Amino acid sequence: MPWNLTSDRPIYAQLIEQMELKICSGIYPLGFKLPSVRDLAREASVNPNTMQRALARLEESGLVYSVRTSGRFVTEDKNMIKETKKRLAREQVNEFLKKMLDLGFEREDILSMLGDMLKEMI
Amino acid sequence: MPWNLTSDRPIYAQLIEQMELKICSGIYPLGFKLPSVRDLAREASVNPNTMQRALARLEESGLVYSVRTSGRFVTEDKNMIKETKKRLAREQVNEFLKKMLDLGFEREDILSMLGDMLKEMI
DNA sequence: ATCATTGTATTAAGGCCTTAATACAATGAT
DNA sequence: ATCATTGTATTAAGGCCTTAATACAATGAT
């Protein structure tokens, strides 16, 4: 999964989101040692400060932790990751449905559009 | 539909999105005379400049047009609205599915979560 | 023992976004 | 004829975001 950043939202917020995704999907597994701030910044083509900012926020939420001079690691709390994954999914579904209903689509429309696009994507 | 603005994205971008929603859903119908910039700004609790910026962008995309001293109107091009509505829907479905698949959910998971939440929302 | 690597901190500069305060010409209502 | 309302334009200030350039203590590998 490449780092895909747009300019319509703060970069650090997008970094948080993508790190969460990588952790919840298992790309960065339980207890995994993350690349260093500088390496992650290089990967994502952003300033180390910006990456550091994102990682600090992830740390506040408990999803990662850092050992001062050793590195940063994905949490070992399996349940926390599971709950985060659930939360993110609920948020996605909720926002999606809200917008589609606001746009004026109905249950059937939504399900059929979704089915069509799923066929394309999988 | 209340103006619902968050601080995690530029306000003017959110205004554009919500105006598009109002137009595509018919809250602002074909040819409708919009409230003045100042009134819309007051409604949304933003600075008139910010609302003006959003409206100017909507005008570039052709969804509204302005008559210098008379006011601003929703386009009378029924087809353009229809196409915009389609485009917005496709974008929503696409982003939603992309994130859910990235999170590691499968077709069945997505459809069942969606069904559950649809029951709650309708 | 030395040295590269780790997370972390600080300061300065520039950019975009938002607000605020004005201003103006053209129109429509009075 | 007068005047409020329309979209539009300009300038200044402040805030947050991002980058850049450094710096430092602690650790692990050599």
Contact A33, A73 (CB under 8 A): yes
Q: Per-residue pLDDT tens for A5-48?
A: 999 999 999 999 999 999 999 999 999 999 999 999 999 999 99
> What pLDDT is attached to residue A104?
95
The predicted model gives B20-28 an average pLDDT of 96
List beta partners, residue A64.
A74
> Is residue B1 scored above 80 in pLDDT?
no
Q: Is B120 within 8 Å of chain A by CB? A: no
List beta partners, residue A67.
A71
Tell me if residue B75 falls in helix, strand or coil.
coil
The complex's ipTM works out to: 0.91
Pairing of strands B71-74, B64-67: antiparallel
Q: Is A110 within 8 Å of chain B by CB? A: yes
Q: In this structure, is the CB of residue B69 within 7 Å of any atom belonging to strand D?
A: yes
> What pLDDT is attached to residue B3?
83
CA of B46 to C1' of C19 (A): 9
Contact A8, B13 (CB under 8 A): yes
| Contact residues on chain A for B97, CB-CB shorter than 8 A | 114, 117-118, 121
DSSP code for A29: -
CA of B22 to C1' of D13 (A): 34
* Facing residue for B88 by CB, picked from A89, A90, A103: A103
Task: Return the residue in A1, A82, A93 with the most chain B beta carbons within 10 A, the one to mutate for interface testing.
Answer: A93
> Is residue A60 scored above 70 in pLDDT?
yes
